[in-house]
């Protein structure tokens, strides 16, 4: 990964809006990497609202778990890993002078998918998530990643929810630790934690 910007904050803090503005400032045609599964009608409406926020400049790719497969979804552009094109096509690249800008929104939903599939086994989910993130980090991209700071809210009243909050916190630390730039959103305002542009 050539560049990683990590944006976190509470629910409705302005994370997605800010991340989209940032992505459009970096690329005329960014890629929106959506990780959500549609759990119910309310969530379907929420996803539709997010889709309506993005215009024709965006390309949307939906991957609920194996985000390292992104390169296959972007052919013939041919993202590559460690100098190897992700496609056997002659049109695949091995050098990317201007790596694509990817907005991954969001880590919380991505983590939820692993946690759900692992039936609440935090250790199993964490091992799979970190392994998949580390594969994703090998892609030749500039990434903006959005996540929730759910641990800053009310302490959950059940064990499963507390385990998920812990898992989310550990994954946030893992990803943020590799970011060149980290931003915390508070009520629509961006607070630069590290790597603010000069």
Residue 5 placed within a domain: no
Domain count across the chain = 1
Residue bearing tokens 């959506």: 34
CA 26, CA 4: separation in Å to the nearest integer?
12
Burial of 86 (0-12, 13-18, 19+ CB in 10 A): buried
CA 180, CA 121: separation in Å to the nearest integer?
31
Residue 10 placed within a domain: no
Q: What percent of the chain has pLDDT over 70?
A: 80
Residue 190 placed within a domain: no
Is residue 99 part of an annotated ligand binding site?
no
CA 118, CA 96: separation in Å to the nearest integer?
36
Task: Write out the catalytic residue numbers.
Answer: 50
Residue 114 placed within a domain: yes
**For residue 132, what pLDDT is reported?**
98
Q: Would you say residue 58 has pLDDT above 50?
A: yes
Q: Would you say residue 88 has pLDDT above 50?
A: no
Residue 189 placed within a domain: no
Which CATH number belongs to the domain containing residue 94 in this structure?
A: 3.40.50.300
Is residue 116 part of an annotated ligand binding site?
no
**108-112 long-range CB contacts below 8 Å, 24 or more apart?**
108/147, 108/148, 108/150, 108/168, 109/35, 109/36, 109/37, 110/35, 110/64, 110/65, 110/67, 111/164, 111/167, 111/168, 111/171, 112/37, 112/164
Is residue 54 part of an annotated ligand binding site?
yes
Residue 119 placed within a domain: yes
CA 151, CA 187: separation in Å to the nearest integer?
17
Residue 197 placed within a domain: no
Q: Would you say residue 83 has pLDDT above 60?
A: no
CA 57, CA 99: separation in Å to the nearest integer?
17
Is residue 34 part of an annotated ligand binding site?
yes
Per the structure, the complete domain to which residue 116 belongs is given by: 23-143+157-180
Mention every residue, 6+ apart, whose C-beta is less than 8 A from residue 84: 94
Residue 150 placed within a domain: no
pTM recorded for the entire structure: 0.83
Query: 71 falls in which pLDDT band (50, 70, 90)?
Result: confident
Convert the pLDDT of each residue in 89-114 to its tens digit.
333 333 344 789 999 999 999 999 99
């Amino acid at each position: 990964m050539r560049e990683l910007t990590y944006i976190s904050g509470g629910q409705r803090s302005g994370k997605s809006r800010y991340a989209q503005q940032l992505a459009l400032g970096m690329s005329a045609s960014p890629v929106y990497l959506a990780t959500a599964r549609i759990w119910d009608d309310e969530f379907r409406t929420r996803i539709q609202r997010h889709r309506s926020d993005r215009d024709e400049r965006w390309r949307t790719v939906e991957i609920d778990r194996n985000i390292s497969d992104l390169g296959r979804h972007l052919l013939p552009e041919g993202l590559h890993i460690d100098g190897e094109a992700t496609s056997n096509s002659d049109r695949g690249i091995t050098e990317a002078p201007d790596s694509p800008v990817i907005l991954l929104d969001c880590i919380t939903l991505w983590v939820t998918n692993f946690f759900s599939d692992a039936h609440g086994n935090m250790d199993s989910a964490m091992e799979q998530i970190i392994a998949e993130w580390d594969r994703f980090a090998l892609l030749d991209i500039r990434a903006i990643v959005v996540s929730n700071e759910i641990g800053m809210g009310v302490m959950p009243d059940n064990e499963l929810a507390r385990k998920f909050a812990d898992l989310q916190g550990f994954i946030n630390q893992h990803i943020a630790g590799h970011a060149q730039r980290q931003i915390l959103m508070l009520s629509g305002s961006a607070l630069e934690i590290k790597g603010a542009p000069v």
